[in-house]
Amino acid sequence: MPGVLSSFNISHERQKSLALIAAILVILRSHIPASWPKSINPYGGRLTDAQLEQARQEVYREEADGSTTLFVPFRGRVSKVRIEPTKADTLSRGAKLFPVVRATQTSKKASVDGMFMRQLWAVLRLAFPHWRSKEVFIVLLHSSFLMLRTLLSVAVARLDGPPMAKGFIRGLGWWFALAIPSTYTNSMIHHLQSKLSLRLRTRLTRYTHDLYLQSAPNLRYYRVGLEGGLEGVDQYITADIAAFCDSLAALYGNVMKPALDMVIFTAQISRSLGPLGSIFLWANYLVSSSLLRSVTPAFARMAAVESRLEGEYRGGVARAGREAEEIAFYDGGRTERDILWRAYSRLMSHVNSIVKYLWSAMGYCLISIPVMLRPRRNIGVQAQAPFAEGFIKPDNAIASRTEDYISNRRLLLSIADAGGRLMYAYKDLLELAGLTTRVYTLLSTLHALPAIKDFVESDHVELDGVGVSIPERKVRGANMFESEDSSSRNYGLGGSLVEPLKIVISRGDHLMITGPNGVGKTAIARVLSGLWESDDGVLRRPVRGVSGLFVVPQKAYMVVGTLRDQITYPHSYSQFMASGRSDEDLMQILEVVHLAYLPDREGGWTTQKEWRDVLSGGEKQRMGMARLFYHCPKFAVLDECTSAVSTDVEGLMYQHAKDLGITLITISHRPSLTKYHTSVLTLRGDATGGWNVTRVGTEEQSVGVEREIASLEAQLNEVATWEARLKDVAAELGVSVKLPNTS
Ligand SMILES: Nc1ncnc2c1ncn2[C@@H]1O[C@H](COP(=O)(O)OP(=O)(O)OP(=O)(O)O)[C@@H](O)[C@H]1O
């Protein structure tokens, strides 16, 4: 560096100061955050501990214009990050960009063809929304640096030329002078490539989240498996989008750089080779590339299958972690290990087959390299003779030819290297094709799910001829790489569960739904809450949202967050604050559900824990009821949500719900709950989907109960007969049996 600087006539003192400034800039650069906070501290200046705590709890705030402001505590301050939701017209434009590609429309071997181009184009339209976007700017900057690198390589190749001692020191100075921009250019290329990949990932991820997590009537996150037939969506959203962006950003450099090299170096060398030599060189490229294309295995399909198997394996590990306690109770470690091992072996055998193919593909590249290098030898032979002669009797012409020879040799080596890298890039392109198909499959499946048929808004709940069936699969053929196992899986096949229902539940009328297991009780709750579409008939119910109809499921869900969040879910902290309620109100609710000890025990309302593991089954269910009391909806569907709660506390909670004016639709097997309801819907479980409704306290209902008592008594009367028969059989066989004490 000093040598270079001295060639610019910079004094020694100046050189030292420049070096110092450069060092300071490098250190400062490493301390600058990746994205500079948009706005610092809404309160101005540094925050107090209490304000910081408040910001930490608030996490985000939904603004009136539909955007969300995230609060990120940052070195004693809070940076606000505003997130605009994807606009509705962007989503509807996206739906047109991603039509479902039926498996019959495309070969199972995804490759670099028109279909790939169309799919890539659709994804690129999302990733680069307009020409003035930052992503386009990064690509342009990246291209400039790639071009600069090629130009620097040409300059370096030219420096190779002069073999004489004449100007040797000057040449060396140039070498160093070129080393600085070359190093900077290389670092910038890497930096811009990573930056591009991250920005593309952020764009695609944000779009996918907005599409995937859309509220009712879309609910794609709930329906993508059953109705969309897509498994392992987490793998698609987390790993595949990231891999696609990495691959795309790297491929651009991997193709762009060698392609530029090829063009610029070939143009340079064409001057020495003449037209015939140039044609030969280009013919060489064409033959080599078509040879490679014809023998390259289906890397695209392999990459897509690898992603799927990776997802299955990841899903297996996640499941073992999530269900660890249940597995441990059963001591099922061995079985789980075998299941995981099976998934891992399938992944490994697939990856090994890719490695095997890669080896053979490499072989083809190696075969092609001598072909690529042949022109070099030709030139070498032509150049050697005059060089040898010129060496004995050097003159200026020979020196110039030798200079040309060395430059050309370097250029040819670079061309061969660029050609090799281009061929390797073809494999990367095929892998990108596989990943593109995965991303396209995800987005097209999500877009293809039609919104669930809407209900008619009303102040009561009415099922007017509404049949209940398991939803059919709505999207077919979108997943080209659907696993063989999953195609035989019994999901989304449809099937009627309950005959069309005709029930009106006015406010204050409490309905209990009962019947044997698996008869379709929860299915009715799914239809009522809009998760499953009703086949026919008209559903009337109150508005969407927690204040209209609220469902408390059997399996209590605990959200990631504070103890307070467990009660207010799905409301955010800012919504809780806006509701005007306080922690004292929440405490009163916890007293009703007999959980008043929790804030003290767990260290206050702001404690964050893995609540799913911390709370017992009964505590979680009581927390579900606390949530109900917090939101206080008009109607509540309680789906066996107190099955783990003791009957005395259960009764108190039901009474409290009624006192709050909540109309109950309860799914339960417990006859003790009947008294809190005005009518009972019984699903008969007779395989025809039959049902009947009785009013509680009416003769019909008591006849129903009496009939059940009579049937149980009849069964008890038979016990003596069965005991006698058992004794006879035991006597005949000469064995002794122990009879239960039935007195
Ligand atoms: N996603 C699904 N895919 C396929 N079948 C389903 C799906 N969900 C439910 N079913 C089937 O629909 C039937 C009714 O299920 P549902 O959960 O409504 O039963 P239930 O009456 O609530 O039973 P339980 O009393 O045991 O809770 C069951 O046979 C179940 O296997």
Interval between CA 228 and ligand 1 midpoint (Å): 19
| Lowest-pLDDT range of 108-117, 169-178, 441-450 | 108-117
Atom of ligand 1 nearest to the CA of 520: 18
Rounded Cα gap, residues 542 and 216, in angstroms: 14
Interval between CA 451 and ligand 1 midpoint (Å): 22
Interval between CA 470 and ligand 1 midpoint (Å): 8
Q: Give tens-digit pLDDT for 103-137.
A: 554 455 556 778 888 999 999 999 998 888 899 99
CA neighbours closer than 13 Å in the CB half-sphere of residue 578? 10
438 vs 356 pLDDT, higher one: 438
Atom of ligand 1 nearest to the CA of 683: 21
Nearest CA-CA partner of 636 in 533, 508, 497: 508
- The b/e string for 54-69 (b: 16+ C-beta within 10 A; e otherwise) is bbbbbbbbeeeeeeeb
Ligand 1: which of 470, 472, 499, 526 to mutate, judged by most atoms within 8 Å of the beta carbon?
Answer: 470
**89-103, 399-413, 613-627, 683-697 — which one is most confidently predicted on average?**
613-627
Instruction: Indicate the average pLDDT of the chain.
Output: 78
Interval between CA 62 and ligand 1 midpoint (Å): 36
Interval between CA 691 and ligand 1 midpoint (Å): 16
- The b/e string for 89-113 (b: 16+ C-beta within 10 A; e otherwise) is eebeebeebbebbeeeebeeebbbe
pLDDT score recorded for residue 574: 84
Interval between CA 635 and ligand 1 midpoint (Å): 23
Range list of H helices, 323-395:
324-330, 333-392
pLDDT mean over 51-67: 77
Atom 10 of ligand 1, residue of closest alpha carbon: 470
Tokens of 538: 């008209």
pLDDT score recorded for residue 589: 96
Atom of ligand 1 nearest to the CA of 524: 18
**298-307, 543-552, 660-669 — which one is most confidently predicted on average?**
660-669
Of the pLDDT bands very low, low, confident and very high (cuts 50, 70, 90), residue 310 is confident
Q: Give tens-digit pLDDT for 683-738.
A: 987 778 889 888 887 666 666 666 667 777 777 888 888 888 888 888 888 887 77
Interval between CA 525 and ligand 1 midpoint (Å): 11
Interval between CA 468 and ligand 1 midpoint (Å): 11
Interval between CA 693 and ligand 1 midpoint (Å): 21
Evaluate if residue 453 carries a pLDDT over 80.
Answer: yes
DSSP SS3 for 64: coil
Above pLDDT 90, what percent of the chain? 26
Evaluate if residue 28 carries a pLDDT over 80.
Answer: no
Interval between CA 320 and ligand 1 midpoint (Å): 24
Ligand 1: which of 522, 638, 666 to mutate, judged by most atoms within 8 Å of the beta carbon?
Answer: 522
Atom of ligand 1 nearest to the CA of 526: 18
366 vs 530 pLDDT, higher one: 530
pLDDT score recorded for residue 153: 79
DSSP SS3 for 504: strand
Interval between CA 491 and ligand 1 midpoint (Å): 12
Interval between CA 518 and ligand 1 midpoint (Å): 5
Backbone angles phi, psi at 283, to 5 degrees: -60, -40
Atom of ligand 1 nearest to the CA of 669: 25
pLDDT score recorded for residue 446: 93
pLDDT mean over 389-408: 57
Atom 14 of ligand 1, residue of closest alpha carbon: 520
Task: Name the residue with tokens 């890669």.
Answer: 358
Q: Give tens-digit pLDDT for 193-247.
A: 999 999 999 999 999 999 999 888 889 999 998 888 888 888 899 889 999 999 9
pLDDT score recorded for residue 460: 92
What amino acid is encoded at 122 in this protein?
A: A
| CATH architecture, domain 456-481+494-696 | 3-Layer(aba) Sandwich (3.40)
Atom of ligand 1 nearest to the CA of 640: 27
Evaluate if residue 463 carries a pLDDT over 60.
Answer: yes
Give, in order, the Cα–Cα distances in Å from 201 to each of 91, 123, 621: 17, 11, 39
5 vs 260 pLDDT, higher one: 260
Above pLDDT 70, what percent of the chain? 76
Q: Give tens-digit pLDDT for 76-97.
A: 777 778 888 888 888 888 889 9
Q: Where do the domains of the chain lie?
A: 2-89, 117-448, 456-481+494-696, 705-743
For the chain, give percent helix, strand, coil, nearest 5: 60, 10, 30
Atom 3 of ligand 1, residue of closest alpha carbon: 491
Query: Cα angle vertex 723, ends 722, 729, to 5°?
Result: 90
Evaluate if residue 626 carries a pLDDT over 90.
Answer: yes
**Is the separation of the CB atoms in 182 and 152 below 8 Å?**
yes
Atom of ligand 1 nearest to the CA of 516: 25
**46-55, 541-550, 581-590 — which one is most confidently predicted on average?**
581-590
Evaluate if residue 156 carries a pLDDT over 50.
Answer: yes
Atom of ligand 1 nearest to the CA of 493: 4
Evaluate if residue 392 carries a pLDDT over 50.
Answer: no
Question: Hey, what CATH topology would domain 117-448 get?
Answer: ABC transporter transmembrane region fold (1.20.1560)
| Lowest-pLDDT range of 61-70, 178-187, 234-243 | 61-70
Ligand 1: which of 468, 491, 497, 513 to mutate, judged by most atoms within 8 Å of the beta carbon?
Answer: 497
Interval between CA 523 and ligand 1 midpoint (Å): 6
Atom 30 of ligand 1, residue of closest alpha carbon: 518
Name every protein residue with a CB atom under 6 angstroms from any ligand 1 atom. Answer: 226, 470, 491, 497, 517-523
pLDDT mean over 470-484: 68
Ligand 1: which of 519, 638, 641, 643 to mutate, judged by most atoms within 8 Å of the beta carbon?
Answer: 519
Of the pLDDT bands very low, low, confident and very high (cuts 50, 70, 90), residue 385 is very low
Give, in order, the Cα–Cα distances in Å from 228 to each of 315, 473, 536: 18, 6, 21
